Structure 1
Amino acid sequence: MKKIILAGGSGFLGGKLAAYLLKRNYEVTILTRGKGRKENQITYIHWDGETMNDWVSEIDGSDAVINFTGKSVNCIYTKKNKQALIESRIHSVKVLQEAILSCKNPPQAFVQAGSLAIYGNTKQVCEETSEHGEGFSVEICEKWEEQFFRVELPETRKVLYRIGFVLGKGGGALDPLKKLVSLNLGGTVGSGTQYISWLHIDDCNEMFVKAIEEKTYEGIFNATSPTPVTNKEFMKSLRKVMGKGWSPPAPAPLVWLGAYTVMRTEPSLALTGRNCIPKRLLDQHFSFQYVELEHALKDTV
């Protein structure tokens, strides 16, 4: 049985992937800041995400390492939070690289969960070779990716997924939007012309399995469905699936106010977007289960 290490795998994406991997007969170990334990066939090992320790022995002999570590972007960008957003990502990549280089039997793949935010706020179609945007979110992504590709790992293939807006049950990015719709507040956010590059969790999980199993997967991939939509279209589909009619739009000033006072998060997360396509995955003939937004929402809502 092949062993997969999920670093920072206690969150929404890591938890969903762990369950998916177990069904595929993989052994799963999660590196967590929480307590070490064995639960639901998963081994949890404590780590701090930045220093070499006993957990390193788990990497040796494993088949692949997948890194989800990083402070959630769902916060207000204070100076302290900005520093934590960057450092939590850089430190985890660095220490995992050190761990892999120290192995007698290194994993054959190191897969990094990145972000489409690297393209900035743009309506132009973005594929993997498109220009990067501007702003703090872009800066995080650039530093993160630079560290990931800086260190040569002679026996380990490297894959980086720039992940979009993942739709899944029981958490993730969709939950706050569902809450708004249920309160009849699920109207267009801001101008409504900002794009949402969405991805169903099942397709996301399968992408990680492909990165583990397929030797042709290497380098940077946009992890998103081939059919991005505008915020206006997205909210309209979500209201329809949830059985809600028209809802009042939320103009930008209201979004700013609500983000800071109620949601305690950065308003740009709702007011900006990017129009991304998964060119390299399509070139690899990756088969998407969900290409229609309504179909994906019906399954997850």
Structure 2
Amino acid sequence: MAWQRTQTQFFALPSSALWEVLADPARVPQWNHAIAQLKPHAYPVTAGTKLDLIPAGEPIGTIHSRTAPPATVTKIEDGLTLTWVQQQPGGHLLVRWSLEQVADGTELTQLVSVSGLASPLFAQTAAKPIASHFAHNCALLYTLAGGTETQNLRVVIAGGNGFLGSRAAADLHCRGHHITVLTRNERTNSPYRQVHWDGKTQGPWASSLYMHGKDTAVLNLAGELVDLPATDANIARLTSSRVDSTRALNEASTRLPQPLTAFLQASTTAIYSDAHDARLTEDSSLPTGAAALPQMTGVARPWEQAADGAQAQRVNILRTSLVFEQESPLVDRLSLLAQVGLGGPVAGGQQWVSWIHLADWLRIIRACLGLEPGTSIPAGIINLATPHPVRNRDMMELLRAQVAPGPLKRFSLPTPKPILAAGAMVLRTDPALGTTGRHVTSRVLADAGFTFEHPEFADALRVIFD
């Protein structure tokens, strides 16, 4: 198959509740907004039932409705799986939903694939939109299937509309937790409570940090993307967006009737700046002087310090490495480079890349919230990184093997430092994001007995690209 994505989500629901929704394709637009209509020609839906598929958006929706044949249900097993296929020129689009009962709930696996001569086009116009926003779609599906707030722990997420925040919100929502997202820009069709804040000052939003009779935790991921040139103005902007929001949350916590259950504060392994071949853990000293890059250590150090004194039963500083998963901006950008022949080593390729798969990042978040049975992680600083960092050249080689076409899998043009610097100037980004590196692992997670589901980079990429 030319393009395929497989994703799985846990739901704190019986499979029968999810099946009641999944078994009726006409309800798909209620939880997957990439599809405007998936209307069966007849009920009950069985193998062979025709479906009128109209993708959302224009002009693709109108063109598809006028030119494409109906989709067809090719397989349905009551309570277990439903597969439908849309014929495309020289191939087809296939979507499959499968349910598996697991401990305390159900796992939904969604497979979306495209094959055929025109698959590169249809992957972008038909398959990728259906596969995208899977976590958000599952949050909508949880509510649609009757999911409610069954857990005592409430979680308030600042930065809940970003890549990591949206995944954490969906993961916890589908496990029965009440989620509140603090945001400057409210989104339509959100399955969560949204509360407006400016990320700087105290206001009505602070009341969301307390509810009588409930435990409340804060996950602070607020901050502008680091993808900016390292000018003094941009460094001040990056610092302010992080420090101001953390101070606001910290101050609000000190005014609560009772301590927060947990205050989970985002940070970054870039706090170690360019560490060359040094082996770093939570016990390592931070760089000083010229070694402390202002756009890295200079931003992250005050960011972490802004959480000092938060009124919470536990405070964790989450020094997060590069997070890999479908739809992450990082994976999208690196994949594009590999696909167009620019997926060779960057700036020589010797620099270390510390990384983590999203599934393991989410498990660490749940463990810090006391939601992972058998795993106890202490308060304090945590490096969220696998035990096996990779060199940049190896990362790019493994990525090419997954996404690059034909001969580009084995060879691709390198990006020397001068070319990287010129490209960064054109794209208005920071070349140091590509030239610096650090070998970061976690002594804290190892001591806690935390086992990574995806410790090896090659395995993680196979899971991501399936």
Q: Structure 1-normalised TM-score?
A: 0.94
| Equivalent residue for 2:425, pick from 253, 260, 265 | 260
Structure 2 residues not aligned, in runs of 5+: 1-150
Higher relative contact order (CA 8 A, sep 6+): 1
Contact preservation (8 Å) 1:221, 1:278? yes
The match for 2:201 is 51
Offset of 1:156 from its aligned partner? 2.9
Pick which of 50-59 and 208-217 moved more. Answer: 208-217
CA distance in 1, matches of 2:224, 2:310: 25
Is structure 2 residue 285 aligned with structure 1 residue 128? Answer: no
The match for 2:441 is 277
What root-mean-square deviation, in Å, do the aligned CA atoms of Structure 1 and Structure 2 show? 1.5
Pick which of 46-55 and 101-110 moved more. Answer: 101-110
CA distance in 2, matches of 1:43, 1:37: 11
What residue identity is the alignment partner of 1:9? G
Offset of 1:152 from its aligned partner? 5.0
Q: Map of 1:158-237 to 2, 5 A cutoff?
A: 158-213=315-370, 216-237=377-398
Contact preservation (8 Å) 2:253, 2:310? no
Is structure 2 residue 448 aligned with structure 1 residue 296? Answer: no
1:92-129 CA deviation, whole Å, 9 max, x = no partner?
11110111111113321000110001111112110001
Summarize the Cα distance change of 1:152–1:33 in structure 2 as closer, same or farther, 3 Å threshold: closer
The match for 1:245 is 410
The match for 2:28 is none
Contact preservation (8 Å) 1:36, 1:43? no
Is structure 2 residue 249 aligned with structure 1 residue 96? Answer: yes
| Equivalent residue for 2:263, pick from 104, 110, 119 | 110
CA distance in 2, matches of 1:31, 1:146: 21
Contact preservation (8 Å) 1:37, 1:44? no
CA distance in 1, matches of 2:176, 2:438: 36
CA distance in 1, matches of 2:460, 2:250: 36
The match for 2:172 is 21
Is structure 2 residue 63 aligned with structure 1 residue 63? Answer: no
Contact preservation (8 Å) 1:118, 1:132? yes
Contact preservation (8 Å) 2:343, 2:412? yes
Contact preservation (8 Å) 1:6, 1:65? yes
Corresponding residue pairs, total:
297
CA distance in 2, matches of 1:186, 1:105: 52
Offset of 1:56 from its aligned partner? 0.8
The match for 2:80 is none
Offset of 1:36 from its aligned partner? 6.8
Which secondary structure does the structure 1 equivalent of 2:306 belong to? helix
Pick which of 177-186 and 236-245 moved more. Answer: 236-245
CA distance in 2, matches of 1:63, 1:200: 26
Pick which of 220-229 and 98-107 moved more. Answer: 98-107
1:257-279 CA deviation, whole Å, 9 max, x = no partner?
01111x32000001101001111
More strand by share: 2
CA distance in 1, matches of 2:377, 2:452: 18
Which secondary structure does the structure 1 equivalent of 2:369 belong to? helix
Q: Structure 2-normalised TM-score?
A: 0.62
Pick which of 186-195 and 103-112 moved more. Answer: 103-112
